[in-house]
């Protein structure tokens, strides 16, 4: 009987960890999709710099994406302008 209870407790703990890992993964995916352009630009800039190339283009792309994300994040969203924001 005790072995069965211990087995269930271990199974419950494993399920809880899986749920936590899934939530963290979803948060990471959401953050990457929201800031994706800025992250891709910065990653490209680092790769260019390591390769010894000019990084101005990557820096400009990352800054533009970051500014666009900031503007989008500061724009008020409600039911009155929801459709307008998605279809410029």
Residues 63 and 86 in one domain: yes
Are the C-beta atoms of 53 and 67 separated by less than 8 Å? Answer: no
Contact in structure between 58 and 41 (CB atoms under 8 Å): yes
**DSSP label of 35:** S
Domain that holds residue 13: 1-34
Count of domains forming the chain:
2
Taking CA atoms, 12 is separated from 1, 5, 17, in Å, by 17, 10, 9
Same domain, 56 and 67: yes
Residues 46 and 15 placed together within one structural domain of the fold:
no
pLDDT digits (tens, 9 = 90+) for 21-42: 999 999 988 877 777 777 777 7
Question: Of 4-8, 24-28, 82-86, which one has max mean pLDDT?
Answer: 24-28
**What is the reported pLDDT for 26?**
92
Sign of torsion over alpha carbons 65, 69, 75, 78: positive
Tell me the pLDDT tens digit for each residue of 41-61: 777 778 777 877 777 776 777
What's the confidence (pLDDT) of residue 52?
Answer: 79
20 and 47, same domain (yes or no) = no
pTM over 0.85: no
């Amino acid at each position: 009987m005790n072995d069965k209870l211990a087995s269930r407790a271990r199974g419950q703990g494993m399920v809880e960890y899986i749920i936590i890992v899934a939530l963290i993964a979803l948060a990471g995916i959401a953050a990457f999709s929201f800031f994706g352009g800025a992250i891709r630009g910065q990653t490209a800039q680092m790769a260019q710099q390591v390769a010894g190339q000019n990084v101005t283009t990557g820096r400009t792309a990352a800054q533009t994406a970051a500014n666009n994300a900031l503007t989008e994040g500061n724009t008020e969203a409600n039911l009155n302008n929801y459709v307008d924001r998605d279809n410029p």
